[in-house]
Amino acid sequence: MSTFDYAPAPESRAIVSIDSAYGLFINGKFVPGKTHFPAINPATGEKLSKISQASTADVNKAVSSARNAYQKTWSKMPPAERAKYLYRIARILQERAREFAVLETLDNGKPIRESRDVDIPLVAAHFFYHAGWADKLQYAGCGDNPKPHGVVGAIIPWNFPLLMLAWKIAPALATGNTIVLKPAETTSLTALLFAQVCQQAELPAGVVNILTGDGKVGAALVNHPDVDKIAFTGSTDVGKTIARSVAHSGKSLTLELGGKGANIIFEDAAIDEAVEGIVNGIFFNQGHVCCAGSRLLVQEGIHDEVLDKLKRRMSQIRLGDPMDKNTDIGAINSSEQLAKIKELSAAGIREGGESWSPECALPDKGFWFPPTIFTGVTQAHRIAREEIFGPVLSVLTFRTPQEAMEKANNTPFGLSAGIWSEKGSRILWAAKHLQAGVIWANTFNKFDPTSPFGGYKESGWGREGGRHGLGAYFKGGNHD
């Protein structure tokens, strides 16, 4: 095959202005922190800024500012007025979309094509969607006059920094709660730019508070007696710790945790489309996706054909500068995450799996891992059981549809699954038998604010998005 070289098409970073240091966003103002940690561009190792580490006193101040705003302003405001603020935020996010996309890519390492075309449009869509609900909450299926909890404490991970923020802040505000949000320590910059958007939208002080820092800040928020509801997205281990801390406290809790999604290819599937779906399922966002299709289950009769086509397709994936508009796979978000991916991949080889990656040069600086598939994997291997959260696919086979279901469900997780088949009846049958919160048919990794998202088993409690997601933000709503 003749090669087709792409000229570099770098996005300019001139649109963003990054401060040398950032404070905490409490009661509508930026307050300088006492200690700081660096924000690093994972694609280059460049230090982008200094981020404040919130103290316990800062957590207390942020919670009391959220309480005050809840009692004096936000809970008293007519819902249609609350909606106007959400619409205003949504429109500002659209106006400043390019700035947010560039900043997200610099801070997170994800390709600009994804932050520009997926993350930021979905963020704005979440605010628009929830703005629409704010004055129609009596129709959400949670009673005639559903009541907000009060103060929400939200803790989010680094894989979709601004999108996870939107998943928490938009429903919390639409339902009349105020919020204190803690971004992940490696990706604080777009949350801090969002704080500026709150100022620009003239959102009443204290309705949104943003505290940066490590897990200790998250734990202080979880254990704060004046927080009424915790909304957490992150790892299953931390989710379990939070569930223990919150038990018997009277706080409401939603958990969006890890996954080990099965992407199941039946032999009647359209193979070329399925190969695109496999690539999207595991290499989108460097595989830093809770609902990634990280376990490929291929029916035996088509195994060789699928693997040949998959390898050929993977050879065309472009890995490199996330700011280049041609890039498919960007940088791994942190040295810690890279070490975890390397450790699990080494375990895969030790346990007898066979690893394959296309030829691809990794940049000298920053954190990188090539797209990788493992064949010869069994259910017992760690790479088939544990979440790798990187661009690594474990390939397993099955003979009968029944066996596919058993293998797909043989995991402590239950977040996502994909079914590839031309037969509608097979898709419906499989969807009925799969224990996963989100099931895609002949597609993968499709998100929409109107559609509920969440997991079973160790993948979490509750749903986010759609009408179902609203219930978690009401007293006595779902998942209390």
Q: Which residues are catalytic?
A: 256, 290
Give the shortest CB-277-to-ligand NAD separation in angstroms.
Answer: 20
Token duo for residue 43: 């694609």
Contact criterion met (CB below 8 Å) for 173 and 179: yes
Give the shortest CB-167-to-ligand NAD separation in angstroms.
Answer: 8
Does position 420 interact with ligand NAD (CB under 6 A)? The reply is no
Q: Measured from the CB atom, is 235 or 326 closer to ligand NAD?
A: 235
Does position 184 interact with ligand NAD (CB under 6 A)? The reply is yes
Q: Measured from the CB atom, is 119 or 185 closer to ligand NAD?
A: 185
Contact criterion met (CB below 8 Å) for 435 and 424: no
Does position 150 interact with ligand NAD (CB under 6 A)? The reply is no
Does position 181 interact with ligand NAD (CB under 6 A)? The reply is no
Contact with ligand NAD (CB under 6 A): which of 179, 257, 274, 373?
257
Contact with ligand NAD (CB under 6 A): which of 24, 112, 120, 222?
222
Does position 449 interact with ligand NAD (CB under 6 A)? The reply is no
Find residue 398's DSSP bridge partners. 299
**Coil, strand or helix: which one is 411?**
coil
Does position 462 interact with ligand NAD (CB under 6 A)? The reply is no
Task: Annotate each residue in 258-277 with x if it binds ligand NAD (CB under 6 A) or - if it does not, as one string.
Answer: xx------------------
Contact with ligand NAD (CB under 6 A): which of 93, 298, 415, 439?
415
Give the phi and the psi of residue 417 in degrees, each rounded to 5: -155, 155
Cα–Cα dist 293/126, whole Å = 24
Does position 119 interact with ligand NAD (CB under 6 A)? The reply is no
User: By Cβ distance, which residue is nearest to ligand NAD?
Assistant: 218
Does position 77 interact with ligand NAD (CB under 6 A)? The reply is no
From 37-45, 63-71, 130-138, 232-240, span contacting ligand NAD (CB under 6 A): 232-240
- Cα 18 to Cα 102, 302, 396: the distances in Å are 11, 50, 45
The site for ligand NAD, by CB under 6 A, has a size of 29
Rule CB under 6 A: which of 288-347 touch ligand NAD? 290
Does position 54 interact with ligand NAD (CB under 6 A)? The reply is no
Give the shortest CB-186-to-ligand NAD separation in angstroms.
Answer: 8
Contact with ligand NAD (CB under 6 A): which of 241, 375, 410, 451?
241
Does position 360 interact with ligand NAD (CB under 6 A)? The reply is no
Q: Measured from the CB atom, is 121 or 215 closer to ligand NAD?
A: 215
Cα–Cα dist 309/315, whole Å = 10
The closest alpha carbon to 419, from 260, 258, 262, belongs to 262
The closest alpha carbon to 390, from 315, 460, 290, belongs to 290
The closest alpha carbon to 319, from 3, 43, 39, belongs to 43
Does position 214 interact with ligand NAD (CB under 6 A)? The reply is yes
Find residue 297's DSSP bridge partners. 264, 396
Burial of 162 (0-12, 13-18, 19+ CB in 10 A): buried
Looking only at the bridges linking them, the beta strands covering 416-420 and 35-40 are unpaired
Does position 166 interact with ligand NAD (CB under 6 A)? The reply is no
**Between the CA atoms of 256, 134, 179 and 42, what dihedral angle is there, to the nearest 10 degrees?**
50
Q: Measured from the CB atom, is 218 or 366 closer to ligand NAD?
A: 218
Rule CB under 6 A: which of 365-394 touch ligand NAD? 387, 389
Which residues, in sequence order, are CB contacts of 402 under 8 Å at separation 6+? none
Does position 256 interact with ligand NAD (CB under 6 A)? The reply is yes
**Coil, strand or helix: which one is 63?**
helix
Give the shortest CB-468-to-ligand NAD separation in angstroms.
Answer: 14
Cα–Cα dist 394/182, whole Å = 33
Contact criterion met (CB below 8 Å) for 357 and 375: no
- Cα 478 to Cα 164, 222, 415, 462, 471: the distances in Å are 20, 20, 18, 7, 5
358: left (phi over 0), alpha (psi -120 to 50) or beta: beta
CA 445, distance to chain mean position in Å, is 11
Q: Measured from the CB atom, is 429 or 456 closer to ligand NAD?
A: 456
Q: Measured from the CB atom, is 375 or 409 closer to ligand NAD?
A: 409
From 92-100, 129-137, 151-159, 419-427, span contacting ligand NAD (CB under 6 A): 151-159
Contact with ligand NAD (CB under 6 A): which of 96, 130, 182, 303?
182
Does position 233 interact with ligand NAD (CB under 6 A)? The reply is yes
| DSSP code for 124 | H
**What is the binding site for ligand NAD (CB under 6 A)?**
155-159, 182, 184-185, 214-215, 218-219, 222, 233-235, 238, 241-242, 256-259, 290, 387, 389, 415, 455, 460
